[in-house]
């Protein structure tokens, strides 16, 4: 009879989800929740129309979504290295942009006159921003 040598079986660790952080579980749920996209979009649209910032807690968990909402609200375009916002008709002397850090996140404040203000959370690792206003388009690059 032939001798058999035992082959060790490596057992892949199976996660029951208890070792994952809430942010990871939330992101996984959002990715798999395609059926919620329309509801989320309509909810966001109604909040933006009412002047509210949609899903404040999600904005804190995923600042890039908050930035995308604001850019969309302003009919702007998101680029890999910045964004563009149309400001046709705005007086250039009334446009003010400042940068700060709030709760560990780098934030841009866009003010137009005394009545319009938006806080734009910047992506991780962005330290400096260049702004250019040309032809009524505000171009922000980082």
Between 19 and 106, whose confidence is greater?
106
Q: Is residue 55 part of a domain?
A: yes
Q: Residue 39: what pLDDT?
A: 79
Q: What is residue 22's three-state secondary structure?
A: helix
pLDDT band, residue 122 (cuts 50/70/90):
confident
Q: Is residue 15 part of a domain?
A: no
Phi then psi dihedrals of residue 110, to 5 deg: -105, 120
Q: Which helix (H) or strand (E) covers residue 32, if one does? A: helix 22-32
pLDDT band, residue 42 (cuts 50/70/90):
confident
CA-based radius of gyration for the chain: 22
Give the pair of three-digit tokens for residue 78: 């998101």
Q: Residue 54: what pLDDT?
A: 55
The number of folded domains in the chain is 1
Kind of pairing between the strands at 82-86 and 130-134: unpaired
Write down the pTM of the prediction.
Answer: 0.57
Between 9 and 100, whose confidence is greater?
100
State pLDDT tens for residues 74-96.
889 988 899 999 998 888 889 99
Supply the range of the domain harboring residue 98.
Answer: 22-141
> In which residue are the tokens 């996660």 written?
15
Q: Is residue 12 part of a domain?
A: no
C-alpha distances (whole Å) from 103 to each of 18, 54, 67, 88, 107 are 27, 19, 16, 33, 10
Euclidean distance between CA atoms 43 and 55, whole angstroms: 9
Q: Which helix (H) or strand (E) covers residue 105, if one does? A: strand 105-112
Q: Residue 4: what pLDDT?
A: 59
Q: Is residue 97 part of a domain?
A: yes
CATH number at residue 133: 2.60.40
């Amino acid at each position: 009879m032939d001798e058999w040598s035992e082959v060790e079986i490596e057992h892949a660790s199976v996660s029951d989800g208890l070792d994952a952080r809430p942010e990871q579980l939330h992101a996984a749920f959002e990715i798999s929740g395609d059926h919620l996209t329309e509801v989320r979009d309509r909810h966001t649209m109604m909040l933006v129309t009412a002047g509210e910032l949609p899903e404040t807690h999600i904005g804190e968990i995923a600042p890039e979504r908050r930035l995308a909402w604001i850019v969309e609200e302003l009919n702007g375009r998101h680029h890999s290295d910045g964004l563009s916002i149309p400001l046709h008709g705005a007086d250039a002397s009334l446009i003010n942009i400042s940068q700060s850090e709030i709760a560990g996140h780098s934030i841009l404040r866009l003010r137009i006159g005394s009545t319009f203000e938006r806080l734009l959370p910047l992506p991780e690792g962005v330290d400096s921003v260049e702004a250019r206003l040309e032809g009524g388009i505000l171009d922000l690059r980082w």
